[in-house]
Amino acid sequence: MGAPDTADLPWEDLSVSSSARRSHTSGWSTRMASGARRNSLRCVTTPLFTLFGVQFQRGGDRLERSLAVTTASSTGDKQAHSGNRGSPYLNLHIGATALHYGQSSCFEGLKAFAYEDGSVNMFRPDENAKRIKIKRSAERVMMPEIPIDMFVRACNYVVKDNIAYVPPYGPGGALYLRPLLFGSGPRIGLQPADEYTFIILVIPVGDYYKGGLAKPVDGLIVDDFDRAAPKGVGAAKVAGNYAADLIPNMEAKKKGFPICLYLDAATHTLVEEFSTSNFIGIDNERKRYITPASPSVLPSITNKSLQTIAKDMGMAVEQRDVAVEELAEFDEVLACGTAVVIIPIGSLTRFCQSGEEMDRFKFSEDVGETTRKLYDQVRSIQNGEVEDKHNWNFKVA
């Protein structure tokens, strides 16, 4: 299988935008003719092509599939998309629903970590698979489900294929995986595609902030924009949710706020989530971990993991509505997600229409005690430094 940390990269200088990798993409393509009962999936990895042929036969509640694995050189099997050979680019039909009708991106994000013993483990890939399948990201935009076992095997394969680019144990780096499903079949007229492509991009990354947890950052409460509409696609991990944040995010940064906090679109009285991260409020006196339960919020796997860790620490975990006024009661506030793990929030500011400051909620000026404990524990589990009693890590083999 090879070993991690063998690529010639400046490991100490990795950031979240590093780009070196052996396989530009690994892709699974699902073909579904309108009204057809059979689907086929295949995997393409460059520059060494490995082809996964999967046939689906749907009959009642049964799903039968066969899996064949073959390996060929970059001049090999014609089933591979020829445009992928040694290239990070994809050939896509101009009429693909990804370009016209919002079937552009149902995606995930997860990481693989090198352990001190030289092994490599992925953190909770099964939960990413469930979020696409069970949490209905794909279903919400009428794209096919990726079976959980296939999703995990695909992630395992692409990490193995890029094992040399897994950062070494110690400095805090990881191999970031971006599985992506989109409509590649042509359709003009609002309707789902008859073909979908599932690809996985991998990229070695360092800590979001050098040294792990950074000094708390100041956030802006957004009133001029909404992230997601009630009964919309806010709970699905699709590209449109991120497009909504582009303008407010850039405008906030110009004002000196590196992160935005969105409120519920209907009333602007309830906390929902940060730009790309879930919201967590900590009440140290009553040992409470509080996070919004809005149906417009993406269910974060990092948040889910931190909730379990908080319970292990003896904290009460509450998923419920969080009024804006309740921000004044929190000792610590943090944003959490796969890329950042945890960002401590030092303050949240809200402006009125005239541009004058209306509210400013202040939290811990330094990394809070509970924030530190949560971060250290989840990172220790990811790095194989403490017992994985919840069986979150999947060894790459």
pLDDT of residue 39: 39
> For residue 169, how many other CB atoms are within 10 A of its CB?
20
Task: Using the predicted structure, report yes or no on whether residue 135 has a pLDDT greater than 80.
Answer: no
pLDDT of residue 369: 97
pLDDT of residue 193: 86
Per residue in 250-308, pLDDT tens? 999 999 999 999 999 999 999 999 999 999 999 999 999 999 999 999 899 999 999 99
pLDDT mean over 212-222:
92
Task: Using the predicted structure, report yes or no on whether residue 79 has a pLDDT greater than 80.
Answer: no
Three-class DSSP category at 391: coil
Task: Using the predicted structure, report yes or no on whether residue 319 has a pLDDT greater than 80.
Answer: yes
pLDDT of residue 62: 32
Task: Using the predicted structure, report yes or no on whether residue 349 has a pLDDT greater than 70.
Answer: yes
Crossing angle of the two packed helices 125-133 and 301-312, in degrees rounded to 10? 120
CATH fold label, 11-205? D-amino Acid Aminotransferase; Chain A, domain 1 (3.30.470)
Q: How confident is the model at residue 218 (pLDDT cuts 50, 70, 90)?
A: very high
Render 325-355 in DSSP notation, one character per residue.
GGGGG-SEEEEEETTTEEEEEEEEEEE-TTS
Percentage of the chain beyond pLDDT 90 is 50
Q: Closest Cα to residue 274, out of 329, 318, 337?
A: 337
Which of 231, 237, 255, 373 is flagged as catalytic?
237
- Strands 217-222, 259-263: pairing is parallel
Domain layout of the chain by residue ranges: 11-205, 217-382
pLDDT of residue 95: 94
Per residue in 36-71, pLDDT tens? 333 344 443 333 333 332 323 223 333 333 333 323
pLDDT mean over 315-328:
98
Per residue in 370-389, pLDDT tens? 999 999 999 999 999 999 99
Cis peptide preceding 47, ω within 30 of 0: yes
What secondary structure letter does DSSP report for 24? S
pLDDT mean over 128-155:
82
In angstroms, the CA 24 to CA 26 distance is: 7
What secondary structure letter does DSSP report for 305? H
In angstroms, the CA 71 to CA 190 distance is: 38
Q: Answer for the pair 174, 112: CB distance below 8 angstroms, yes or no.
A: yes
Q: Quick one: tokens of 265?
A: 């679109």
Window from 6-10, 27-31, 137-141, 386-390 with minimum mean pLDDT: 27-31
Q: Answer for the pair 125, 62: CB distance below 8 angstroms, yes or no.
A: no
Q: How far is CA 197 from the centre of its chain?
A: 18
pLDDT mean over 127-149:
81
Share the mean pLDDT of the chain.
Answer: 81
Q: Answer for the pair 198, 32: CB distance below 8 angstroms, yes or no.
A: no
In angstroms, the CA 319 to CA 321 distance is: 7
pLDDT mean over 159-176:
90
Task: Using the predicted structure, report yes or no on whether residue 35 has a pLDDT greater than 60.
Answer: no
Per residue in 327-347, pLDDT tens? 999 999 999 999 899 999 999
Amino acid at the residue 240: G
CB within 8 A of 273, min separation 6: which ones?
227, 261, 262, 279, 292, 294, 297, 298
In angstroms, the CA 89 to CA 353 distance is: 44
pLDDT of residue 210: 67
Q: What is the pTM of this model?
A: 0.84
What secondary structure letter does DSSP report for 367? -
Q: How confident is the model at residue 171 (pLDDT cuts 50, 70, 90)?
A: confident
Q: What angle do CA 311, 172, 14 make, to 5 degrees?
A: 140
pLDDT of residue 92: 86
pLDDT of residue 87: 55
CA atoms within 13 A on the CB side of 58: 9
Is position 373 annotated as part of the catalytic site?
A: no
pLDDT of residue 199: 81
Q: Which CATH class is domain 217-382?
A: alpha beta
